[in-house]
Structure 1
Amino acid sequence: MQDLAQLEPLARDLPQTKRGHERCVALLESGAELFLRHGYDAVSLDDIVNHAGGSKASIYKYFGNKEGLFKSICDYRRDQFFKDICVPFNPELSSFRNYLVQTLLNFQHHLNQPDKAAFMRLVLEQSQRNPDIAQHIHEHGPKQIQLAIATALETAHQKGLLVCEHPLFSAQFYFGILRNLEWKILMGLPNEETDQENINYINYCVDRFLDGHQKS
């Protein structure tokens, strides 16, 4: 179970007890399940409370309202999504090339999981309807993982492993390697490539990415 402090960015009123923590997590998980099953508009706070237990007072206390709950669900699932994808670069454990390849392979693996793809579609749908949600998702999702890779690139630059004068630009370019796969998944198209073909593709692209970050 998550540590209490890990809910701090998710809940506006951090639960102080184990029971409060469990109630908060139950609301996040139940809300995500119902939103995925029925769509955002078709789910009410009463539906979520009936599914998770507790009361609407808990939602108001921890998340403010339905929109606040949805934002927190997005943050909660983002943390789950990225916890094993983009770990800090440790030059003592891996070469930088292997680090970049493994990060994309981890990302691809998560993208291929149906529930994560479905949630991404739900997020995009709600982002089109609500600019505030769109801004929140971007600031706490794509932007954060880009910054994580930018930090790794800056570290590699300082250690002389490559030349990267604009780490954030390069991080955005790096994640573009998976853009085609990401769009196919979001549009519900089948991934026709084999696992080995995807591995070969990622290795090829990372090599070209690193070629572009060498001294001229």
Structure 2
Amino acid sequence: MSDSKDKYIHELPHTKRGMERCIAFLDIATDLFLKKGYDAVSLNDIIQCTGGSKASIYKFFGNKEGLFKAICDYRRDMCLQELYLNTEHYESDLRSFFLTVLKNFYDYIIDAKNIQFKRLILERATHDIDLANHLNQNVLHYLIDNIKKHLMKATEQGIIVCPNPTHSATILLGTVWHVEWQMLVGVSDIAFTHNTQEYINYCVDHFLKAHEYKQSF
């Protein structure tokens, strides 16, 4: 779990056991929501599987809706962790860095459980405008802003020219986001799947050319 856990836990536990119980609420509630659907799962169902009490859920998350938002933020942070897997050696090699980030993002998008959860949050957001706004600001924009920071750093170092890092970050992630739509509606482009790395290489190379990347490739 990332260090941003305080963003979605109302009151942090004071003990290791308390934190473990808090994370158990997030993990087990996620599995129950995916298995039964959001409306069919009660706080009592979650407590029966995790132990603890309703008071603990209210203390940590406020209510069931708060718990679900916390799960969305928690999974967003897990997505970020996966996004930057195996990138620690590439900070000085922007091409390799972005190639790895996009491949990691693609792998995250096509994961079956992640697709199942995305279908769940889309269904929930349709009926809950507050959740929809939360997802837009704290998940979508959060991911974009994270990539934006790397573009800004590279610009400051004179490696690229990026006058609008927000737009550029959106474009970069957007090169594979269409795969998520395909997965959500249950279709698969076999030809694309077989040539994923070639496609990612193409996108990153042209992205960097457009930003006047100072290293040759």
TM-score normalized by the length of structure 1 = 0.90
> 1:43-85 CA deviation, whole Å, 9 max, x = no partner?
1111111111111111111111100000011111111121131
Q: Number of matched residues?
A: 213
One of 130, 133, 136 as aligned partner of 1:132: 130
Q: Please say if residues 86 and 145 of structure 1, whose CA atoms lie closer than 8 Å, have aligned partners that are also in contact.
A: no
From 22, 36, 39, give the equivalent of 1:38. 36
Partner of 1:57: 55
Most deviating of 99-108 and 133-142 = 133-142
Contact residue 28 and residue 50 of structure 2 kept, 8 A: yes
Could you report, residue by residue, the CA deviation over 1:191-210 in whole angstroms, capped at 9, with x for unpaired residues? 41465500000100111111
Equivalent residue number for residue 69 of structure 1: 67
* Aligned amino acid, residue 175 of structure 2: I
Two-structure CA RMSD over aligned residues (Å): 2.2
CA distance in 2: counterparts of 1:176 and 1:140, whole angstroms: 17
CA displacement, residues 78-107 of structure 1 (integer Å, 9 cap, x when unaligned): 1112113147x8786541111111100000
Q: Secondary structure at the match of 1:172?
A: helix
C-alpha distance in 2, partners of 1:14/1:23?
11
Alignment equivalent of 2:94, drawn from 71, 93, 96: 96
Cα distance change on mapping 1:170 and 1:7 into 2, 3 Å: closer
Unaligned runs of at least 5 residues, structure 2: none
| 1:81-92 alignment runs, 5 A limit | 81-86=79-84
Provide the residue aligned with 1:25 in structure 2.
Answer: 23
Structure 1 unaligned blocks of 5 or more: none
Amino acid at match of 1:201: Y
Q: TM-score, normalised by structure 2?
A: 0.90
SS for the counterpart of 2:10 is coil
Tell whether the 8 Å contact from 1:86 to 1:148 is kept in structure 2 after alignment. Answer: no
C-alpha contact (below 8 Å) 2:91/2:97 kept by paired residues? no
Structure 1 residues 92 and 207, CA, compared in 2 at 3 Å: closer, same or farther? closer
How much has 1:31 moved relative to structure 2?
Answer: 0.6
Whether 1:47 and 2:45 are equivalent positions in the alignment is yes
C-alpha spacing 1:162/1:184, structure 2 compared with 1 (3 Å): same
Which position in structure 2 is the counterpart of 1:106? 104
Q: 1:152: which partner in 2?
A: 150
Query: Which residue is equivalent to 2:175?
Result: 177
Contact 1:128–1:134 under 8 Å retained in 2: yes
Q: 1:160 to 1:139 in 2, by over 3 A?
A: same
1:179, distance to aligned residue in structure 2 (A): 2.5
Residue identity opposite 2:8 in structure 1 = L
Provide the C-alpha distance between the structure 1 equivalents of 2:172 and 2:178, rounded to a whole number of angstroms. Answer: 13
Post-superposition, which runs of at least 4 consecutive aligned residues in structure 1 deviate over 6 A? 89-92
CA distance in 2, matches of 1:156, 1:93: 9
Moved more, 193-202 or 53-62: 193-202
Is the Cα contact below 8 Å between 1:86 and 1:149 reproduced in 2? no
